[in-house]
């Protein structure tokens, strides 16, 4: 199956401040803040929704292609993705910008001060499905908002089956933009908080959305996920973790498992189970691309919790 993953490509710059931010905030000077924190640790991690989803898909034996934009600093990242089995031939490089970057400083009390630089991501709106061979399945994950609206519209025009995953962009998107992305999608997927934003902004509930798409997946963290389709509903439990290291990228891995199930022609419930197993692997590692497993190892873990994997 030809699978295209659209969404952000980003670097995460994560810093640690060995103190408390609040110790340096003067109540009578909050209107004139000018602070600099000397950090004792910084990591740069490969991130972004599109590579995280594609990486899990590659682990699961698929050959996904990323269609997204990156900056002049993408070469090392591209080599990493190519070596992992991800096709980056549709990643467009913007020559005068850096790849989108998330800068986060965390103090000893887990307070955070962060900034996000969109960089080359803002040029994703110039990419078009009209310019490439028709894929079998697309996921539209968080990206430049204009790109998300455009790509959903093009998928409908071209008859391309797609998953709409507005994610963090639910907060920025209008109700009209969200409703447009939902209309005609094979699947709408979000977490429970994002779904409430979608409900409030669009006025659409589960039954309303199911009149416009095939299935709705709502992830609920440790409580698993709820799946709705054709008057049916099932709750898929989360797979117990061996350890909790970092939740970054857990939702993206779930989406990778979901897409793998769709590629296999699995039922919606099995798609959710595959997503649940994939998500737990990420929870046990740092970031969305440091985990690894073989297909046999993945199936074995699936069977430990859900029984035999049958289609």
Query: Which of 252, 206, 216, 234 is closest to 306 using CA atoms?
Result: 234
Cα–Cα distances (Å) from 125 to 152, 172, 188, 292, in that order, read: 12, 16, 21, 32
- Of the candidates 277, 251, 273, 252, the one whose C-alpha atom is nearest the C-alpha of residue 262 is 273
Active-site residue, 252 included: yes
User: By C-alpha distance, which of 128, 163, 119, 126 is closest to 142?
Assistant: 163
Kindly give, in sequence order, each residue whose CB lies less than 8 Å from that of residue 161, ignoring residues fewer than 6 positions away: 136, 137, 138, 155, 186
Spell 212-237 as b/e; 16+ CB within 10 A means b.
Answer: ebebbbbbeeeebbbbbbeeeeeebe
Q: For strands 100-106 and 87-93, give the pairing.
A: unpaired
Q: Tell me the backbone φ, ψ of residue 210, rounded to 5 degrees.
A: -70, -15
Beta strands 225-229; 161-164: pairing state: unpaired
- Among the options 192, 252, 296, 304, which is catalytic? 252
CB 250 within 8 A of CB 279: yes
Alpha-carbon distances, residue 78 vs 34, 54, 72, 192, 234 (angstroms): 37, 12, 11, 33, 38
Q: Is there a contact between 41 and 174 (Cβ–Cβ < 8 Å)?
A: no
Catalytic sites, residue numbers: 252
């Amino acid at each position: 199956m030809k699978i295209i993953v659209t969404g952000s490509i980003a670097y995460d710059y994560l810093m640690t401040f060995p103190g408390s931010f609040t110790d340096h905030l003067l109540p009578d000077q909050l209107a004139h803040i000018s602070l600099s924190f000397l950090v004792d640790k910084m990591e740069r991690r490969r991130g972004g929704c599109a590579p995280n989803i594609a990486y899990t898909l590659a682990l699961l034996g698929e050959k996904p292609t990323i269609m997204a934009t990156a900056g002049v600093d993408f070469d090392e990242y591209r080599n990493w993705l190519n070596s992992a089995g991800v096709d980056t031939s549709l990643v467009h490089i913007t020559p005068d910008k850096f790849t989108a970057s998330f800068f986060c400083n965390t103090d000893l009390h887990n307070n955070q001060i962060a900034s996000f630089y969109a960089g080359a991501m803002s040029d994703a709106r110039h990419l078009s499905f009209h310019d490439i061979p028709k894929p079998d399945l697309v996921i539209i994950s968080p990206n430049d908002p204009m790109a998300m609206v455009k790509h959903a519209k093009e998928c409908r025009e071209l008859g391309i089956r797609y998953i709409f995953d507005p994610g963090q962009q639910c907060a920025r998107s209008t109700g009209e933009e969200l409703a447009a992305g939902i209309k005609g999608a094979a699947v709408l997927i979000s977490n429970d908080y994002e779904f409430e934003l979608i409900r409030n902004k669009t006025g659409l509930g589960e039954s309303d959305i199911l009149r416009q798409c095939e299935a709705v997946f709502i992830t609920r963290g440790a409580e698993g996920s709820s799946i709705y389709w054709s008057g049916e509903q099932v709750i898929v439990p989360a797979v117990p973790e061996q350890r909790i290291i970092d939740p970054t990228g857990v939702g993206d891995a779930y989406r990778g498992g979901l897409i793998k199930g769709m590629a296999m022609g699995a039922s919606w419930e099995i798609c959710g189970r595959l997503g649940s197993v994939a998500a737990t692997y990420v929870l046990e590692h740092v970031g969305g691309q440091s985990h690894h497993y073989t297909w046999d190892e993945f199936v074995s873990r699936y069977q430990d919790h859900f029984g035999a994997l049958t289609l």
